Chain A
Amino acid sequence: MANSFKGGVHPEENKGQTSGIPISELPPPDIVVIPLSQHTGAPSKPLVEKGDEVRVGTKIGEADGFISVPVHSSVSGKVLGIEARPHPLGRRMPAVVIESDGKDDWVDLSGHKDITEDSPQKIREAVKEAGLVGLGGAAFPTHVKISPPEGKPIDTAILNGAECEPVLTSDHRVMLEYAGDVVAGLKIIMRVVGAERGFIGIERNKPDAIRLMREAVAGDDGIEVADLKVKYPQGAEKQLIKALTGREVPCGGLPMDVGCLVQNVGTSLGIYEAARYGRPLISRVVTLAGRAVKNPGNYRVRIGTQFAHIISASGGTTGPFSKLIMGGPMMGIAQADGDAPVIKGTSGLVLLGEDEVVDHDPSACIRCARCVDHCPMKLLPNEIVRFVEKEKYERAKQYGLLDCMECGVCAYICPSRIGHVQLMKLGKAALWAMKKKAEQEA
């Protein structure tokens, strides 16, 4: 039996539309919109002003504190300004708007020495300077993850190639096309954190990637390429660790509490490129999929490229569509229009047709317990949302509201079409507000 965890669901995968198409470069747009907040943590502090000339890779924002990263220009050209622009996560947020001069001039990286064999501290600095964050979607600063505090030894480094979200295939393509570099990244991670064991976890629906990665790690006894059962959310950090090591990250804890570190395969590639070439994160692979897309596939896209540009530059659409999702269909965020840009955590753009837009008209819970049976965190989603609806947030917390990772399994499986995820978010926000208020009064 393949490695897995308890619970979860198996939505239609729908990956065939793009999984066989090699990554191709999308020409940079005339204008990029680069938000200063693309990661978990404090937004970057802008380093440029209107009118400044920048090149590809010019640092335009500096990390503000430890849990923060710099951002870089993804084109060469002129800064048009720093203004509030639509952000894929919803609100308008400050972004550096740059007009491309079309020359695509890079900053000079020739002075960078290969530091792949250098000290952990040097690598952490290079990773931070490259603006690297988790590319799986959560966008947590990578240098923080590879800097475990004293007393939290890490023995196992895991690369996440599960890609359990339906439709998305960007990680799959990265593994196929950069297998050697991905493994090189893992070796760097293992050395930096002192892990003696490495895993690359890949769902069984990607046999070609499993084979290729096995070839790439051949001869290294410390690294195992493990096939995983095809199940959502197999790629969720805690579930992946459980599947591969049998360890359970404690409630409210982090992977390092059980000696583990998880990085997305694309992030591993980024770590290698940062250490080897000093290359900052100015582009990423984005899956563009959906029936309405004329040329679906995986595209290497500059950070800051607006969604509408990706769709048109790839060849446009063949017909109308009703939903534009940044990310996968299970956890992605529906966009109001195509104005928001690709950020570091953008793994895909999915277009849904009118008939694919699902009904969100909830009816009463019939207590069928499907959410209970499938919740990968073993919560009682039905009870938690009931408490949230009644504004009994403390009770919701007792029932594990804060353990919910918003994977959406409960809402997916719910016959009453209840919007659990929305209610969970609402409940968490209410708890945060209560906590803040209590702190102010104290």
Chain B
Amino acid sequence: MENKLVISPAPHLRDRMDVKSVMYAVVLAMIPACVGAVYFFGLRALFIIVFASAAAMLTEFILQKATGKKVTIADGSALITGMLLAFNVPPGVPYWLPVAGAVFAIAIAKIPFGGLGYNPLNPALVGRAFLMASWPVYMTAAWIPPSRGTISGISAITEATPLGVYRMSNMILADGAAGPDQIAKATEYLNELYSLSSLKNLFFGNVGGCIGETSALLLLVGAAYLMIRRIINWRIPGTYIGTVAVLMFILGGRGAFTGNVLFQVLSGGLILGAFFMATDMVTSPVTPRGQIIFGVGCGLLTSIIRLKGGYPEGVSYSILIMNITVPLIDRFTRPRKFGEERVKS
């Protein structure tokens, strides 16, 4: 035979999807929310996204160069970390803050573990946790009202996010020493939060919040794309959101079974977290049953934090905590092999 032949093991065909295409599909899925962020919060939002992404990629580049490793910034994973970190900071923070978060995410939570595929925790969430611990005031107060509305999404209050108002009102209602006018006010706030106009604001993103989390609609557009491409499936986001919906319906209102499900699902970072962060492949279970347990666990923790926690929102900590359990979950949820006895010995 005149030509030299390649010898390699079967299969001799490969599906088109590679790591790069997976990562850039996720990036693409975040673009609608990026556009929404700029629309609602102005160019600041864009700068924060660009700076965080650049910082994440540059950090990865420098560390890999310095340690003589293969430079992998082109795979898109550092870009995702940067974008997600930016999505998770308030729009009013100084520009150095997301940069610090992105550097921390890559330099502490990703590269030391071996880079993409080996990090046990979602790097962007570790970066966010670092920012929360270091600059809590910026992270919990640097809100900017959206271009066509208020931070709370309602007119009665302007300083707090919807979940902030929710938490505050609930604290007043739970406080035995609260006066009748305070109770009336708190009740009014809650009623306003649950009104159609407030829920609409939450759905379209016309409320205050972290840069990428406010518009449920635009996040769902990206999520639908990822589902259609079969990059994510329903198991984690479905069980996560479902668990929050059920628990908050039961416990999140005044009296049992009176919680407002739509408000709970649409507010805060739940949609962003459930579809874009809890689904991070590297840090979530691989088994079908494991993914369901993971999603339920995230939902449980988020609900507990919303009801009893020190912060109004708990999506990122919930996911981080569940990240830790992934090896254990995978280990104990191994699927039944084809032909394996149904009753385990």
Chain A residues close to B by CB (< 8 Å):
9, 11-12, 166, 238, 242, 248-251, 253, 308, 320-325, 329-338, 350, 352, 357-360, 363-369, 372-373, 376-380, 382-383, 399-400, 403, 406, 408, 411-417, 419, 421-422, 425
In the bound assembly, the distance between CA atoms of A300 and B19 in angstroms comes to: 43
Interface residues of B (CB under 8 A from A): 1-15, 17-19, 21-22, 72, 75, 114-118, 231, 233, 281-288, 291, 330, 334-341
Task: Tell me the nearest residue of chain B to A419, going by C-beta.
Answer: B9
CB pair A334–B7 under 8 Å, yes or no, is yes
Bound CA–CA A378/B11 (angstroms): 19
Q: Are A417 and B18 in contact (CB under 8 A)?
A: yes
Question: What are 11 pairs between A and B in contact, CB < 8 Å?
Answer: A250-B339, A320-B2, A321-B3, A321-B5, A334-B9, A363-B72, A364-B114, A378-B337, A412-B11, A412-B14, A415-B22
| Complex contact A323–B12 (CB within 8 A) | yes
Asked if A403 and B337 sit within 8 Å, CB to CB, the answer is yes
Min CB distance, B9 to chain A, in Å? 4
Q: Which of B114, B282, B337, B338 contacts A366 (CB 8 A)?
A: B282
Instruction: Tell me which residues across on chain B come within 8 A of A419, comparing CB atoms.
Output: 9
Nearest 5 interchain pairs by C-beta: A364-B117, A408-B11, A369-B286, A329-B12, A422-B9
The CA-CA distance from A9 to B13 in the complex, in Å, is 12
A322 touches B3 (CB 8 A): yes
Most chain B beta-carbon contacts within 10 A, residue among A367, A377, A414, A422: A367
Assuming the A-B contacts A364-B116, A415-B18, are A322 and B5 also in contact, with contact meaning beta carbons closer than 8 angstroms in the complex? Answer: yes
**Residue from the list A336, A379, A413, A415 in contact with B5, Cβ < 8 A:** A336
Known: A329-B12, A364-B116, A415-B19. 17 other contacts (CB 8 A): A248-B338, A248-B339, A251-B339, A251-B340, A322-B4, A325-B12, A329-B10, A334-B8, A352-B12, A364-B118, A377-B337, A377-B339, A380-B286, A380-B330, A403-B339, A408-B11, A421-B10
Cβ-closest chain B residue relative to A412 = B11
Q: Could you tell me the distance between the alpha carbons of A422 and B114 in the complex, rounded to whole angstroms?
A: 24
Which chain B residue shows the least CB distance to A330?
A: B11
**Alpha-carbon separation in the docked complex, A270 to B46 (Å):** 70
Q: Is the CB of A332 within 8 A of B12?
A: yes
With a cutoff of 8 Å between Cβ atoms, the chain B residues found around residue A359 in the complex are: 14
Q: Give chain A nearest CB distance to B74 CB in angstroms.
A: 11
**How far, in Å, is B126 (CB) from chain A's closest CB?**
17
Tell me the bound Cα distance from A364 to B75 in angstroms: 12
Which of B7, B13, B72 lies at the interface centre, i.e. has the most chain A CB atoms within 10 A of its CB? B13
A360 to B334, CA, bound (A): 28
How far in angstroms is the closest Cβ of chain B from A128?
Answer: 29
A330 contacts across to B, CB distance below 8 A: 10-13
Q: Assuming the A-B contacts A338-B1, A368-B281, A403-B337, are A415 and B21 also in contact, with contact meaning beta carbons closer than 8 angstroms in the complex? A: yes
Which one of A352, A383, A417 lies within 8 Å of B330 (CB-CB)?
A383
Please, which residue of chain A has its CB at the minimum distance from the CB of B114?
Answer: A364
Q: A364-B116, A366-B281, A369-B286 are in contact. Are A415 and B338 (CB under 8 A)?
A: no
Query: Please, which residue of chain A has its CB at the minimum distance from the CB of B233?
Result: A373
**Contact of B17 (CB < 8 Å), options: A336, A338, A415:** A415
Nearest CB in chain A: distance from B286 CB, A: 4
In angstroms, Cα B17 to Cα A421, docked, is 18
A331 and B131 CA atoms in complex are apart in Å by 51
Contact present for A380 and B13 (CB under 8 Å): no
Residue of A nearest to B2 (CB): A320
- Shortest distance between the CB of A401 and any CB in chain B (Å): 11
User: Contacting B334 at CB < 8 Å: which of A251, A350, A399?
Assistant: A399
Chain A neighbourhood of B4, CB < 8 A = 322
- Complex CA distance for A249 and B11, rounded to whole angstroms: 25
User: How many angstroms between the C-alpha atoms of A422 and B12 in the bound complex?
Assistant: 12
**Do the beta carbons of B117 and A365 come within 8 Å of each other?**
yes
Chain A minimum-CB-distance residue to B77? A366
B9 closest partner in A (C-beta) = A422
- The reply to whether A333 and B10 form a contact with Cβ atoms under 8 Å apart is yes
Residues of chain A with a CB closer than 8 A to B338's CB: 238, 242, 248, 251, 376-378, 403
* A359 shortest CB reach to chain B, Å: 7
Report Cα–Cα, A416/B15, bound state, in Å: 11
Q: Which of A358, A399, A416, A417 makes the CB contact (< 8 A) with B117? A: A416
Q: Which residues of chain B come closer than 8 Å to A399, judged between CB atoms?
A: 334
User: Is the CB–CB distance between A417 and B14 below 8 Å?
Assistant: yes
User: In the complex, which residue of chain B has the Cβ closest to the Cβ of A409?
Assistant: B11
Chain A positions within 8 Å of B287 at CB level: 369, 372, 380
Contact B11 A329, beta carbon cutoff 8 Å: yes
Residue contact A323 to B117, C-beta cutoff 8 Å:
no
Cβ contact within 8 Å between A369 and B12: no
- Closest A residue to B335 by beta carbon equals A378
Known contacts A329-B13, A422-B9: does B335 contact A372 (CB below 8 Å)?
yes
Q: Which residues in A have their C-beta under 8 angstroms from that of B285?
A: 369
Determine if B10 and A366 form an interchain contact, defined as CB atoms under 8 angstroms apart: no
Give complex CA distance A320, B335 in Å.
45
Distance, CA A413 to CA B340, complexed state (A): 24
Chain B positions within 8 Å of A378 at CB level = 335-338, 340
- A382 is contacted by which of B19, B284, B286 (Cβ under 8 Å)? B286
Query: How near does chain B come to A90, taking the closest CB pair, in angstroms?
Result: 9
Taking CB atoms, residues of chain A closer than 8 Å to B75 are 363
User: What is the distance, in angstroms, from A341's C-beta to the closest C-beta of chain B?
Assistant: 14
Contacts of A238 in B (CB 8 A): 338-339
Beyond A248-B338, A380-B334, is A367–B281 a contact (Cβ under 8 Å)?
A: yes
For residue A323, which residues in chain B have a CB less than 8 angstroms away from its CB?
Answer: 5-6, 8, 12
> A338 — nearest CB in chain B belongs to which residue?
B1
Which of these, B3, B19, B334, B336, contacts A416 with CB under 8 Å? B19
Query: Are B286 and A367 neighbours in the complex by a CB distance under 8 Å?
Result: yes
* B114, B233, B282, B340: residue with the most chain A Cβ atoms closer than 10 Å: B340
Assess whether A320 is in contact with B9, with CB atoms less than 8 Å apart: no
Q: Return B124 CB to nearest CB of chain A, in Å.
A: 15
Q: A363–B19 Cα gap in the complex (Å)?
A: 8
Report Cα–Cα, A336/B13, bound state, in Å.
18
**Which of B3, B11, B233, B338: most chain A CB closer than 10 A?**
B11
* Chain B: CB-nearest residue to A381: B286
Using known A-B contacts A334-B5, A366-B281, determine if residue A413 contacts B15 with beta carbons closer than 8 Å.
Answer: yes
How distant is the Cα of A250 from the Cα of B339 in the complex, in angstroms?
A: 4
Chain B residues with Cβ under 8 A from A414's Cβ?
14-15
In the bound complex, CA of A337 to CA of B284 (Å): 45
Contact, CB under 8 Å: A358 / B19: no
Q: How far is the CA of A357 from the CA of B13 in the complex (A)?
A: 8
- A400 B118 Cβ-Cβ under 8 A: no
Query: Does B10 lie within 8 Å of A368, measured CB to CB?
Result: no
CB distance from A325 to the nearest CB of B (A): 6
Nearest-Cβ distance from residue A235 to partner chain B, whole angstroms = 15
Q: How far is the CA of A41 from the CA of B114 in the complex (A)?
A: 45
The answer to whether A335 touches B5, judged by C-beta atoms less than 8 angstroms apart, is: yes
Q: Which of B2, B22, B341 contacts A250 (CB 8 A)?
A: B341
**How far is the CB of B220 from the nearest CB of chain A, in Å?**
22
Nearest opposing residue in chain A for B118, CB measure:
A364
- State whether B281 touches A369 (Cβ < 8 A): yes
What residues of chain A lie closer than 8 Å to B286, measured between beta carbons?
367, 369, 372, 380, 382-383
